[in-house]
Amino acid sequence: MEQFKINTIRILFLAAFAFIMFRGTPILWLAIFALSMVAAVFFGRFYCGWICPMNTMMIGTEKLALKFGIKLKSAPKWIESGWLAWVLLIVSAGLMIFMKKVSGKDFPVLLIWLVASVILTFRYKPEVFHNKICLFGVLQGLTGRHAFSSRRVDPIKCIGCKLCEKACPAEAIKVFKEDHKARIDTKLCHQCYNCTLVCPKEAIDYGKVKK
Ligand code: SF4
Ligand code: SF4
């Protein structure tokens, strides 16, 4: 039921995105994105898990790819450090400014990345796009890493079964070898709820993060 509710919210935001694009006012969506970056300081990266049209499309695409038996790949070594997302951010911002100055038109950054996210999800695991390629993701990580509230793990309840690790689309939760307990990296966490849904011990909730 929770999953159904979350997916419904995602689809409503996707519809809002389509409407905004149809009206030709992408600046409105970029304003929503900017607001969500501020909100991420307080609540974590909800934009990525609930609002982002790329993420919503990627969830469907991943299901389709797996249905067709496509084996999704991990990140190639050369992009592992995450530099590519920063380069793509700078190039995209540069093209937006250049196109506006030269032709007065908007560079369709949101639509181009929406298409790119779907194509790449037919080849790579979702965490590759989220953590190594997405220019919007690196910006969300800047504020999300300081989140006052986030998904968090109760180490007393956690049995280290790793089901949460497998369910996470962003490699944000990891069971550590030292104590066999899961921990969440708020910089990467999309607050998507997947881990909470699969945890057999109800060890994951949402609340204040200990700094
Ligand atoms: S699913 Fe729950 S019990 Fe299993 S490792 Fe994750 S937090 Fe711990
Ligand atoms: S840690 Fe949990 S809430 Fe955060 S991205 Fe991973 S599955 Fe989603």
Does ligand 2 come within 6 angstroms of the Cβ of 189?
yes
107: DSSP letter = P
For the chain, list residues with pLDDT below 70: 1
Q: For position 1, what pLDDT does the model report?
A: 63
Which atom of ligand 2 is closest in space to residue 194's alpha carbon? 7
Q: Which parts of the chain are beta strand (E)?
A: 149-153, 173-175, 182-184, 204-208
> Is ligand 1 within 6 A of the CB of residue 199?
yes
**Which of 175, 192, 193, 196 gets mutated to test ligand 2 (max ligand atoms within 8 A of its CB)?**
192
Nearest Cα neighbor of 62 from 129, 9, 107 is: 129
Task: Provide the pLDDT for residue 86.
Answer: 97
What DSSP state is assigned to residue 152? E
Determine whether the shortest distance from the Cβ of 204 to ligand 1 is under 6 A.
yes
Helix 2-23 with 26-43: angle, nearest 10 deg: 140
Does ligand 2 lie within 6 Å of residue 131's CB atom?
no
Domain locations along the chain: 2-144, 149-208
How confident is the model over 67-78, as pLDDT tens digits? 999 999 999 999
From residue 29, alpha-carbon distances to 13, 127, 175 in Å are 10, 23, 36
Calpha distance 52→47 (Å, rounded)? 6
**Any atom of ligand 1 within 6 Å of the Cβ of 168:** no
161 lines ligand 1 (CB under 6 A): yes
Q: What local confidence, expressed as pLDDT, does residue 179 receive?
A: 96
Q: Whose CA is nearest to atom 2 of ligand 2?
A: 195
Pocket residue to mutate for ligand 2, from 191, 196, 198, 202, most atoms within 8 A of Cβ: 191
Instruction: For residues 80 and 22, give the distance between their C-alpha atoms in angstroms, rounded to a whole number.
Output: 36
Q: What is residue 41's predicted lDDT score, i.e. its pLDDT?
A: 97
- Check pocket membership of 175 for ligand 2, CB cut-off 6 A: no
**CA-193 nearest atom, ligand 2:** 3
Q: What percent of the chain has pLDDT over 90?
A: 96
Does domain 149-208 bear CATH number 3.30.70.20? yes
| Residue nearest (by alpha carbon) to ligand 1 atom 8 | 158
Q: Integer distance in angstroms from the first to the last C-alpha of the chain?
A: 32
Ligand 2: does its nearest atom lie under 6 Å from the Cβ of 54? no
